[in-house]
Structure formats: C-alpha cells, structure tokens
Amino acid sequence: MIYAIQNWIFIFFIYSFLGWCFETALVSIEEKRFVNRGFIRSPFLPLYGFGAITMIVAGTPVIKDPVLVFIFGAVSATILEFVTGWLLEVIFKTRYWDYSDTHYNFKGRICAEATLMWGFMTLLVNYKVHVHIEPIILKLDSQIIMILDIILLIIFIIDFIASAKAAIDVNNILKRLTEIKNEISDINLKIKEQIRNNSESDAKLTSLKQKLEQLKSENIKNSSKINFFKKNYLNAHPNSRSLKFNNALTELKIKINEKKKK
C-alpha cells in the first residue's frame, strides 16, 4: 500500500504509542512499579514506530507468503534495532538495552531471540493489527491527519530536545562524579602517606584535608543536580549502562531509589 507522507507520519505515531504501551506494561510488571519507558517523556517509543513502518514496507510486497513476511520483517527490524542501538551509544555514550547475557547476540545490540520476536511481530502487524488501523486512517480527512501530525510532531520535537539535553547533562554529571571519586581516592592515599611518614608539613596535610572536604561537598552537590527530567530519564531505563561511567551511574541510581524510600 502506498500512503501519503502525512499518513506515514500518523502511522509512525500510532505504532510508537502502541509500542510504548507494550514496553511500559512489560517493564512495569518486571520492576513491580510504573516505569514510563522510552527515551522521551511523552507516550511514544520511536523504535516501534519506525519498526512498524519497516515491517509494513518489508511485508507488503510478499504479503501472500507468511514465511517471507516473517523473514523480511525479522531481518529488516533487526538491522533497524542494531543501527538505533549503535547511534544511541555513539551520541549519548549509553547502552539503553543490552543482550550481552542472551544467547546468540551480536555486540549486545541484537540477538536471535529478539530477531524471532521481530519476525512474529511482523506477522502480527501485517495480518492482524494493520488491517484494522489502515481503514481508519484512510477514512480520516487528510486535513485532520495533517493537523494531528503537526501537533504530535511539535510535542515530539520539544520532548526529544528536552530528553536529549537531560541525557547529555546526566552524562556530564556522571563524568564529574567519576573524576571526583578518583580525586578523593588519590587524596586519601596522599593523606595516609603523609601520616605514615610522620611528615612535618602540617600545612600540606591540612590543605589535603580541606581539598578532600571540598570534593566531598561537590560530590553531594552533583548528585543532587538530578531534576525532574533527569530523574525521569534514569527511571525510564532501569537496566541502562553507561559505556564510560557505569559505576557512577549505578551509584546514582541507588541514591535516587534510596530517596524514594524516605
């Protein structure tokens, strides 16, 4: 089926929303708490939107052969997942999903199990879901769809910019927390060395202790810089892993969870 551009955009948002519902429900059940899944804060998961479009485009030419629909959809969606994961890692230095502990994975970004899931989802989308969505879209007036597209795109773009800023800010905080931790460790070693050698330089020892207190104070301030958007960003990805500062990320998540319990 050939759609007008405004229809494709509307299809993208429909499946992004359905994907958000699916993942949010799944992860919320696993975590035993509500988890608003996704990189952005609005109820859309772009990977599912692009994934559904990929499945429809891949499946339509061979729609009469379910086996080919499965294969084409599984392969194309897996490629999309790999590229998306790679881009997010390059831009934000964070791995938002990780299949490293799953059998038959490739670089932790894709795995055989997920590929099979994409294949079955392609069958579901093409034969069960989209056959009901398509008539609704085609019945809607093109002007209405265009207006809805504009509204949704504005919300999406604003949300994406805010979420991207939060991701970059969190990464900068993690970088500084890691630097502070290393500096504190170095100063503690120097203080122990001064004491062990019975150094007569009391001024140097005092200076080191003052520097240590300053770093501890800065460490607390940096940990408390997590505002609404940054906190939501971290909560949305309970299993995310920083490629450079994962220890700091783990400690930050623990502190956020401890504050919740108070």
Residues 193 and 129 in one domain: no
Residues 80 and 136 in one domain: yes
Gap between the Cα atoms of 18 and 51, Å rounded: 12
Final residue in a domain of this structure, among 116, 131, 152: 152
Higher confidence at residue 254 or residue 199? 254
Residues 169 and 146 in one domain: no
Q: Residue 173 — very low, low, confident or very high, per pLDDT cuts 50/70/90?
A: confident
Query: 104, 105, 86, 107: which is closest to 96 by C-alpha?
Result: 86
- What does 58-95 look like in DSSP terms, one character per residue? HHGGGTT-HHHHHHHHHHHHHHHHHHHHHHHHHHHSEE
Average pLDDT of the chain is 87
Residues 67 and 171 in one domain: no
Which tokens sit at 48? 């599912």
Q: What's the pLDDT at 122?
A: 96
What mean pLDDT do residues 110-128 have?
Answer: 96
Is it the case that residue 159 has pLDDT exceeding 80? Answer: yes
Q: Does residue 148 contact residue 10 with C-beta atoms inside 8 Å? A: yes
Q: What is the pTM of this model?
A: 0.80
Residues 224 and 175 in one domain: yes
Residues 90 and 211 in one domain: no
Q: What's the pLDDT at 147?
A: 97
Residues 115 and 186 in one domain: no
Residues 69 and 129 in one domain: yes
What mean pLDDT do residues 227-246 have?
Answer: 74
Q: How many domains does the chain have?
A: 2
Residues 9 and 102 in one domain: yes
pLDDT digits (tens, 9 = 90+) for 56-96: 999 999 999 999 999 999 999 999 999 999 999 998 888 88
Gap between the Cα atoms of 4 and 243, Å rounded: 40
Question: Strand ranges (DSSP E) for 49-189?
Answer: 94-95, 105-106, 110-111
Residues 187 and 124 in one domain: no
Residues 125 and 168 in one domain: no
Residues 69 and 197 in one domain: no
Domain interval for residue 182:
161-259
Measured CA distances, 108 to 76, 77, 103, 104 (Å): 18, 16, 10, 9
Phi, psi dihedrals of residue 94, rounded to the nearest 5°: -135, 140
Is it the case that residue 207 has pLDDT exceeding 90? Answer: no
pLDDT digits (tens, 9 = 90+) for 44-56: 999 899 999 999 9
Gap between the Cα atoms of 198 and 193, Å rounded: 8
